[in-house]
Amino acid sequence: MGEVKVGVFLSDCGKQLSEILDFNALTNYVKKVSGVVLVARSSEFWRGKGLQFIVDAVKGGKTNRVVVAESLPKLSEVNIVQAVEEAGLNPYLVEVIDLKDHCAWPHRETPKEATEKAKAMLLAAIERAKLLEPIEKLEFPVLKSALIIGGGIAGMQAAVDLADLGFEVNLVEKAPFLGGLAARAGRFFPTDDCAICIQSPASDVKTITHTSRKCVYRSGFSEIPNLNILTNSKIVGVEGVPGNYKVTIEKKPTYVDELKCVACDLCTTICPVEVPDEYNAKLKTRKAIYMRVPNVHPPVYVIDESACKFHDCAKCVTICPTKAIRLDQKSKQITLNVGSIIVATGFQEWDSSIIKEYHYDDYPDVITNLELARMIDGFGPTGGVIVRPSDRKPAKKIVFIQCVGSRDRRWNPYCSSICCMISLKHASLIKSAYPDTDITICYIDIRTTGRQHEDYYERAREMGVKFVKGRPSEVSRDPETNKLIVDVEDELLKRILELDADLVVLAPAMVPSEGTKELAQIGLEPLLDEDGFFKEYNAKLRPTETRLRGIYICGGATFPKDAPTTSLHAHSAAIKAAKFMTTGKIVKDQRTAVINDEYCGDCEFCPVTCPYGAISLVSTDEEHIVAEVSDLMCEGCGICVGTCPLNAIELRHSRPNQMLVQMKALMSINGTSKPLVLAICCSECGHTAVDSSGMAMMQYPANVRVMKVPCTGILQVHQFLEAFRVGAQGVMVVGCKSDGCHYEVGIQKAEKKVELARVLLKEYGIEPERLEMYNMVFIEGDKFAEAAQTMTERLEKLGSLQLMGAS
């Protein structure tokens, strides 16, 4: 590495700072620090002449460690680091600090004290800079192919986007046909047009227009050249790393050769086995060989293996004119290598039979909204007529029950968000076709929050749909007439009603689709939330990303959604996946954890703790187990460092010795009459809270010194004790909000360690209240200033801390 030559560049921000801080004193002080070869002062160093000056100093070999005191370092650092890198110095040899918001402005009333604090801050930066090490850029390959799990509208829309962008797309659907819930729903709000309609793929050259949207069967979806559709297939395993996943898929047999079947329908005419048609809510039967509806993909027949008699019958084999039936077809294992994965597994209706008092499982005339959708559909089992399933007579009186199993703390505490609209849509559709139908909707709250949604509510009232505010307690049946009776309190009239009905329609909660849990077991379990849906990385900013690189989620798999939101979600996931794959590589700094094999061994703390699954265990020659960090997956938070009982892990960009010299330097000069406080802040919310208190010129005493760490999760108990040993009278640990840690769990780990350290302090005879944990975000600068003040006053009351053997 050669000799360390630190260049210190002091910006006075257009003399704003020199009115408070004594810059001559600072310059003279810095000059004397060992290792410093160059000290320069300017009005700004992050652009223009000032930045050129740094670049020239680096290029001329005058300095190989750059310390800059500049305002707004979170902005200026980006510029400085880029320029320094172009000048030929590793960007990790640059240290930028903020003498404005962290010193001059919050201490403007005590300029002398501020100057002394500035000295300590500069010394800390210089000492850290001396120990900094260059960090290399790494490259990892990314395959330009994606796996999309789920062939509903979310999966299909994402597939079109990615295929149009030129990526190889594999779409896997567990059912024999594409379409998901949309294929059964018939119509969607708020457009009232067919549910099974998607954007046109670019490969549809003959008929595509800027605005075209088409039924799946005529969209040319199945003919997109770089789209591989696997229906009747199941994911059985995922291995590998972001950018290069090896996916194993089991394609179950359909017993019909897709390439030979011409959908002539002769097979169904001869097939002797009839079973209830689950797709049509069991209101109809189908044969053991069947096609769902005429306009699905793939447009071929399949054999239901749970119903077919196979070789004992084989009538279809004889009649098939193209010899397409293959009764001996076996399931196939397919292996794919993909760069990214999009999970679009959707949602389904909750099993309403769990609420016994609604009798969904034993009264045939109690049905769900999805079953009603099949009846409304002209293609459906009743040809669009609304009937009582028990006797197939037209249903003249219909009662809807909202919130069946949703907003219910016993089953699904959340509001499923789309059921009010579904019931309003269905009520309106029935009323327009059969105006004399008597419809009552029993609701707790009607929620119509989207664009044009309130119109549905208004239209339903105009059409004469009745609304009763009250959740029914029970559905019973008159044994003579078979009529249903719904007990409900009309709360607005405060009257208990008994509504009679031909048909009761339940609006069940929407829950993760069947198999979600099973699918998650391929390594996605940590992504499930308490309700069983896939959880996004950040609801506000990254709604379709997960904390695992290369894995994206969209549509109903994340929460029940209407069609417009599902589309938005699908496009978002597609663009995120495309962004990840587009260059064919991941370029990433080795700003990661590194294991010291000499100390590491035979414990399993870090792999369990790492929120990104970046640490695995490997056996050594001496039959020890040691940890191994994936530079690709490590996000450089340091939570593993804080967890390791043997100090066997360090972060390359935040080593313990770097932290120690910083601590020592910050505590080496006081300059105030007050007890020194070390505020250890995480580089995310914690540090920005300090920024914002300074920006707003909130005053707190200059004895409070700030040290930045990547995440408070990196801290170990002994470091708190060390802070006291090097001269701190009090220690503040400032991190993100408990549920808002940028590294998932870092703050919770820190909270626990602070708690433990306080117990230890007590054992050592040190007042535990000298150490405290804080959770702050950027807009809480006032909270930081107040906490700094309170901590100072508390320490003044406690008196000076005397440690035996303290340096």
CA atoms within 13 A on the CB side of 3: 10
Closest separation between CB of residue 744 and another protein, Å? 30
Residue 561 CB, nearest approach to another protein (Å): 23
Q: Is 473 among the residues that bind another protein (CB under 8 A)?
A: yes
When the beta carbons of 487 and 628 are compared against another protein, the nearer one is 487
Of 489, 562, 769, 772, the one binding another protein by CB under 8 A: 489
- CA 127 vs. chain centroid, Å, equals 38
The CA-atom distances, in angstroms, between 391 and each of 283, 387, 533, 746 are 11, 8, 38, 61
Tokens of 667: 């505590």
Nearer to another protein, 488 or 641 (CB): 488
DSSP annotation of 102 reads I
Alpha helix stretches (DSSP H) within 629-670: 639-643, 656-666
Kindly report the number of other CB atoms within 10 A of residue 433's CB atom: 13
Interatomic CA distance for residues 609 and 367, integer angstroms: 47
Q: 3-state secondary structure string, 451-486?
A: CCHHHHHHHHHHCCCEEEECCCCEEEECCCCCCEEE
Q: Quick check: helix, strand or coil at residue 737?
A: coil
- Selected binder of another protein within 73, 106, 242, 472 (CB under 8 A): 472
Amino acid at 727: G
Binding track over 317-356 against another protein, x by CB under 8 A = ----------------------------------------
373/188 Cα distance (integer angstroms): 10
Residue 494 touches another protein, criterion: CB under 8 A: yes
Which tokens sit at 484?
Answer: 């249903």
Region near another protein per CB under 8 A, out of 298-306, 471-479, 552-560, 663-671 = 471-479
- Identify residues 573-632 at the interface with another protein (CB under 8 A): none
**Which of the residues 225 through 264 are near another protein (CB under 8 A)?**
none
Sketch the per residue contact string, 422 through 451, with another protein: x for CB under 8 A, - otherwise: ----------------------xx------
Give the binding range for another protein (CB under 8 A) out of 46-54, 246-254, 489-497, 768-776.
489-497
Q: Which H or E element spans position 287? A: strand 285-287
CB 494 to another protein: min, Å: 7
- The partner residues of 65 in beta bridges, in order of sequence, read 6
Angle between helices 685-695 and 781-798 (to 10 degrees): 90
Task: Tell the smallest beta-carbon distance from residue 560 to another protein (Å).
Answer: 17
Alpha-carbon separation of residue 801 from 14, 193, 766, 770 (angstroms): 41, 75, 8, 10
C-beta of 442: minimal distance to another protein in Å? 9
Nearest approach, Cβ of residue 454 and another protein (Å): 21
Taking the C-alpha atoms of residue 95 and residue 499, their distance in angstroms, rounded to an integer, is 74
Please pick, from the candidates 85, 277, 304, 487, the single residue that binds another protein as defined by CB under 8 A.
487
Rounded to the nearest whole angstrom, what is the least distance from the CB of residue 486 to another protein in the complex?
A: 9
CB of 470 to another protein, least distance (A): 4
Of 136 and 491, which CB lies nearer to another protein in the complex structure? 491
* Residue from the set 152, 201, 339, 470 that interacts with another protein by CB under 8 A: 470
Q: Which stretch binds another protein (CB under 8 A): 102-110, 186-194, 236-244, 472-480?
A: 472-480
Check if the beta carbon of residue 130 is closer than 8 Å to that of residue 6. yes
If the CB atoms of residues 41 and 471 are measured against another protein, the closer one turns out to be: 471
**Pairing assessment for the beta strands 213-215 and 285-287 based on DSSP bridges:** unpaired
Q: Is 530 in the site for another protein (CB under 8 A)?
A: no
65 vs 359 by CB, closer to another protein: 359
CB 180 within 8 A of CB 151: yes
57: left (phi over 0), alpha (psi -120 to 50) or beta: alpha
Closer to another protein by Cβ: residue 44 or 489: 489
The beta strand positions in 127-273, using DSSP E, are 137-141, 145-149, 168-172, 197-199, 213-215, 227-230, 233-241, 244-251
- The nearest distance, CB 366 to another protein, in angstroms, is 17
Q: Which residues contact 1 (CB under 8 A, 6 or more apart)?
A: none
Check if the beta carbon of residue 556 is closer than 8 Å to that of residue 181: yes
Smaller CB separation from another protein, 268 or 476: 476
Q: How many whole angstroms separate alpha carbon 308 and alpha carbon 268?
A: 12
Q: Which is nearer to another protein, 56 or 357 (CB)?
A: 357
- Output the smallest distance, CB 471 to another protein, in A: 4
Count of other CB atoms within 10 angstroms of residue 719: 20
Q: Is 304 in the site for another protein (CB under 8 A)?
A: no
Q: How many residues bind another protein (CB under 8 A)?
A: 20
- x-marked contacts with another protein along 104-123 as a string, rule CB under 8 A: --------------------
Contact at 8 Å (CB) between 22 and 47?
no
Query: Closer to another protein at the Cβ: 257 or 490?
Result: 490
Selected binder of another protein within 304, 474, 769, 772 (CB under 8 A):
474
Instruction: Kindly tell me which of 438 and 489 has the beta carbon lying closer to another protein.
Output: 489
Contact call for residue 496 and another protein (CB under 8 A): yes
Single residue of 133, 136, 454, 491 touching another protein by CB under 8 A: 491
The two tokens of residue 115 are 């100057």
Cβ atoms of 413 and 422 within 8 Å: the answer is no
Does 540 help bind another protein (rule: CB under 8 A)? no
Minimum CB separation of residue 402 from another protein in Å reads 10
357 binds another protein (CB under 8 A): yes
- The reply on whether position 659 binds another protein by CB under 8 A is no
Minimum CB separation from another protein for residue 472, in Å? 6
Instruction: Output DSSP code: residue 178.
Output: S
Give the shortest CB-78-to-another protein separation in angstroms. 48
118 vs 468 by CB, closer to another protein: 468
Instruction: Give least dist CB 503 to another protein, A.
Output: 20
| List of residues 6+ apart from 503 with CB closer than 8 A | 365, 367, 386, 387, 388, 395, 397, 398, 399, 484
Which part of the chain contacts another protein (CB under 8 A), choosing from 490-498, 540-548, 788-796, 797-805? 490-498
* Chain position carrying tokens 């709604």: 543
Return the beta strands (E) in 502-582 as ranges.
503-508, 510-512, 551-553
615's tokens: 């640490």
Taking the complex as a whole, how short is the minimal distance between the CB of residue 407 and another protein, in angstroms? 6
> Contact region for another protein (CB under 8 A) — 278-286, 392-400, 469-477, 561-569?
469-477
Write the CA distances from 330 to 252, 253, 257, 604, integer angstroms. 7, 6, 12, 42
CB 491 to another protein: min, Å: 5
> Toward another protein, which CB reaches closer, 507 or 677?
507
CA distance 84 to 82: 5
Shortest Å distance, C-beta 490 to another protein: 8
Please identify, using beta-carbon distances, which residue of 251 and 471 lies nearer to another protein.
471
Stretch that binds another protein, among 227-235, 259-267, 463-471, 698-706 (CB under 8 A): 463-471
What part of residues 384-413 is at the interface with another protein (CB under 8 A)?
Answer: 403, 407-410
Q: Which is nearer to another protein, 469 or 542 (CB)?
A: 469
- Binding residues (CB under 8 A) for another protein: these are 357, 403, 407-410, 444-445, 469-474, 487-489, 491, 494, 496
